[in-house]
Structure 1
Amino acid sequence: MPIQLGGSLQYTCSTESGAVLVLGDDADQFNALNIGYFRKIMSEQYCTWLNKANGEENSYGIKLHDLILVTGCDKTSLWANAVFKDGSSEFSISVNAGAPGIANGSFSAAIKDSGTGRRMIRKNWGPSTRQV
């Protein structure tokens, strides 16, 4: 008889903003090879980008420290994430998993915000269930 595996994680952050990401499957990592080229372009173009973001049509209030150079990404089929702004927050995450031939299971992640105060929270996730 296959066994069921499970677990939980509690994440507490006391900063003004933060994020949590849980991967339920293997992830493939893709990174730029010529990071120096991207740094050069960013150093040449950041003023243009800031002017575009904060011009008459768009007034996002973006500052130099808000620009982030992303040089890679991770891809997976199962995931859950949450981000928050304007106050501390606490998230509880439950995960169930299995292994072929050993344990039946599915990936599911429930993110529950138990923080207090007024803040912006965004949650998202990949497929809600999937046979392992």
Structure 2
Amino acid sequence: MNIALWIIACLLAAVFLIAGANKLFIPQQKLARAPGGGWVLDFSGSFVKTLGAVEIVGAAGLILPAALDIGPILVPLAALGLAVIMTGAATVEFRRQEFKHMVLNLTYLALIIFVAWGRFGFASFS
């Protein structure tokens, strides 16, 4: 189970690192032209940039505390934070009737909850 949690956490970290970097470094108008990116026009540019930065920190939080053995309790906490973000993303896409992207976000949400459950519970690092 520990190996499965590591693999899923690493994959999610890569997804959130890329998504966060895109939000942080790509201009809002260019993001809006991407498939499923129209939501960025519903929010301020500073919100989108802040969301990108938080996703990058969350990605680091899924891996670094456990890998460095410095506060491994931060891994499930980072997963819970990312779960909140994905819940918000799924809600926005439901309201925008972008159901394909909503299903993708709900899949990420399920994986994140699995990591949080596994690291809080029986497969914790302690």
TM-score of the superposition, structure 2-length normalised? 0.28
TM-score of the superposition, structure 1-length normalised? 0.27
Task: Name the larger-Rg structure.
Answer: 1
Q: For CA contacts below 8 A with separation 6 or more, give which structure has more relative contact order.
A: 1
